[in-house]
Amino acid sequence: MSTAEETAGGEIEPWDEVTPEAARRLLVAAVEAFAERGYHATTTRDIAGRAGMSPAALYIHYKTKEELLHRISRIGHDRALSILRTAARGEGTATERLAEGVSSFVRWHAGRRTTARVVQYELDALGPEARAEILALRRQVDAEVRGIIEEGVANGEFDVIDVHGTTLAVLSLCIDVARWFNVDGPRTPEEVGALYADLVLRMVGAVKP
């Protein structure tokens, strides 16, 4: 299964914002190459070859290999933030919103595992300016989850002593799914999402209704 075909519910990987079509093909090829070989071991020739293009054609759309990684990281982190922000600002109790956020976040990391591995584990390959931009997005992701947990603690739904540490643990648990999830394994992204939502609610000591 190619990166473009990965699903968490039958959807094509959301690269529609990348235009023209040649630039999108190169980005998808870069995701696959970075996930398979790692950023530093991947050459622009590798990426162009996967996209069925010449190395010279790559530079028409991306000045450097790092620019490709930055674009991938930005799109992936924007998507992750959107998933958690939607859950955090939705209706329902803190318990319900935390469960929905974790479930959706995990489904994305499982269903888009190739993209997620690059997005989450190649950050150090970015230059200082690009890395700072992505770290700012990560802080926003952290803030959305922390906000739900803080609300749950304040209203008595959760029993958490260290909110910051628990937020880190929750996000780390979810993100790691991209590292081990196997599409041919015994669980679907939806099943893993439901399992992790239950685990996280137990972690925060959610009060059973």
According to the model, what pLDDT value does residue 13 have? 54
The pTM is what?
0.87
Per-residue confidence in pLDDT tens, the chain, 209 aa: 444 444 433 334 557 788 899 999 999 999 999 999 999 999 999 999 999 999 899 999 999 999 999 999 999 999 999 999 999 999 999 999 999 999 999 999 999 999 999 999 999 999 999 999 999 999 999 999 999 999 999 999 999 999 999 999 999 999 999 999 998 889 999 999 999 999 999 999 997 65
For residue 187, CA distances in Å to 6, 11, 18, 116, 182 come to 15, 18, 31, 18, 8
According to the model, what pLDDT value does residue 184 have? 87
For residue 157, CA distances in Å to 20, 25, 86, 160 come to 48, 46, 20, 10
d(CA 36, CA 39): 9
The secondary element (H helix, E strand) that includes residue 200 is helix 189-203
